[in-house]
């Protein structure tokens, strides 16, 4: 085998609770300082420092020094995808360990997932786009149709051409809270950026949660035919995913 050892080492890195907390904290795509990550993970700076060094050395994170701060972020979308997959599996298999709190409620409603939008709002928009033929989704592959492209262009979101590049253009991403799919890849990323630029969504400080502005409620309803407030509905309960 090429290397069971390398495989195990990589998984083990993500398998420590402290490092796991760090990886999850970086899932919104931002870069955080070593101190912030220490705080997020609930350990002292010197402990965090050791963990971060290992994550960087293994290529899961990249670090950029800026003055006396050292900013860490996920090394690549591939790493984000690994984290996503692990979240899916963990959610899939574990019984709900603790009661969900109000903070979780906000996250379930709308949040960033690395570089795209996740949560009920994201799932709702995605499913409406599929229903109206703006989007074709298999389970792991997808395509933005001509009408979809026009739909986005109409609200001022210009999606770059597919191209043969190495970056995923359009793909579904399993939503850990909804167990249904939302939109990721280049299209998903452009969508999030666009909605933020339009002022329809606003990031919240210190959290991956995203709030829908009043303008956003109206805009999303008009453009996608989906009411973001409707997403306060009952829990979905799809047990077995993909």
Binding site for a copy of itself (CB under 8 A): 1-17, 19-21, 24, 58-60, 75-79, 81-83, 85-94, 97-98, 100, 104, 107, 138-143, 162, 165-172, 176-177, 184-185, 240-242
The residue within the footprint of DNA, chosen from 11, 50, 76, 229 (CB under 7 A), is 50
22 is a site residue for DNA (CB under 7 A): no
Q: Are 174 and 181 in contact (CB under 8 A)?
A: yes
49 is a site residue for DNA (CB under 7 A): yes
Whole-number minimum distance, CB 52 to DNA, in Å?
5
Q: Which does 165 bind (CB under 5 to 8 A by kind): a copy of itself, DNA, none?
A: a copy of itself
18 is a site residue for DNA (CB under 7 A): yes
35 is a site residue for DNA (CB under 7 A): yes
Q: Which does 82 bind (CB under 5 to 8 A by kind): DNA, a copy of itself, none?
A: a copy of itself
Give residue for tokens 């972020």: 73
Name which of 85 and 147 has its Cβ closer to a copy of itself.
85
34 is a site residue for DNA (CB under 7 A): yes
Specify the 3-state DSSP secondary structure of 74. Answer: strand
Specify the 3-state DSSP secondary structure of 217. Answer: helix
CA-CA distance, 176 to 178, in Å (whole number)? 6
Specify the 3-state DSSP secondary structure of 28. Answer: helix
Name which of 168 and 212 has its Cβ closer to a copy of itself.
168
Instruction: Please name the residues in contact with 204: beta carbons below 8 A apart, sequence gap of 6 or more.
Output: 106, 210, 211
The residue within the footprint of DNA, chosen from 6, 7, 44, 85 (CB under 7 A), is 44
Q: Are 55 and 9 in contact (CB under 8 A)?
A: no
62-121: contacts with DNA (CB under 7 A): 63, 67-70
- Assigned token pair, 157: 């979101």
Judging by beta carbons within 10 Å of its beta carbon (0-12, 13-18, 19+), is residue 163 exposed, middle or buried? exposed
Whole-number minimum distance, CB 92 to DNA, in Å?
20
The residue within the footprint of DNA, chosen from 14, 26, 52, 190 (CB under 7 A), is 52
Nearest of 63, 93, 105 to residue 207 by alpha carbon: 105
CA-CA distance, 45 to 8, in Å (whole number)? 26
Task: Characterise 31 by phi-psi region: left (phi > 0), alpha (psi -120 to 50), beta (else).
Answer: beta
The residue within the footprint of DNA, chosen from 2, 3, 5, 46 (CB under 7 A), is 46
Name which of 33 and 211 has its Cβ closer to DNA.
33
Give residue for tokens 């960033």: 112
Q: What are the residues binding DNA (CB under 7 A)? A: 12, 16-18, 33-36, 38, 43-54, 63, 67-70
């Amino acid at each position: 085998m090429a290397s069971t050892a390398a495989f195990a080492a990589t998984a083990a890195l993500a398998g420590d609770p402290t490092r796991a907390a760090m990886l999850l904290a970086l899932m919104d795509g931002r870069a955080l300082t070593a101190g912030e990550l220490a705080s997020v993970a609930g350990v002292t700076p010197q402990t965090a420092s050791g963990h971060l060094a290992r994550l960087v050395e293994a290529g899961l994170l990249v670090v950029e020094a800026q003055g006396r701060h050292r900013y860490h972020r996920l090394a690549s979308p591939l790493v984000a995808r690994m984290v996503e997959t692990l979240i899916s599996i963990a959610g899939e298999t574990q019984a709900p360990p603790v009661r969900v709190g109000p903070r979780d409620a906000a996250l379930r409603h709308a949040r960033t997932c690395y570089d795209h939008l996740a949560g009920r709002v994201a799932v709702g928009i995605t499913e409406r786009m599929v229903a109206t033929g703006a989007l074709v989704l298999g389970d792991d592959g997808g395509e933005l149709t001509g009408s979809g492209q026009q739909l986005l262009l109409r609200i001022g979101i210009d999606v770059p051409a597919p191209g043969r590049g190495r970056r995923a253009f359009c793909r579904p991403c399993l939503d850990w809270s909804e167990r249904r799919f939302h939109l990721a890849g280049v299209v998903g990323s452009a969508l999030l950026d666009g909605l933020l630029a339009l002022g329809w969504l606003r990031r919240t400080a210190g959290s991956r949660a995203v709030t829908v502005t009043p303008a956003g409620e109206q805009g999303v309803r008009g453009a996608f035919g989906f009411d973001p407030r409707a997403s306060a509905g009952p829990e979905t309960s799809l047990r077995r995913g993909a």
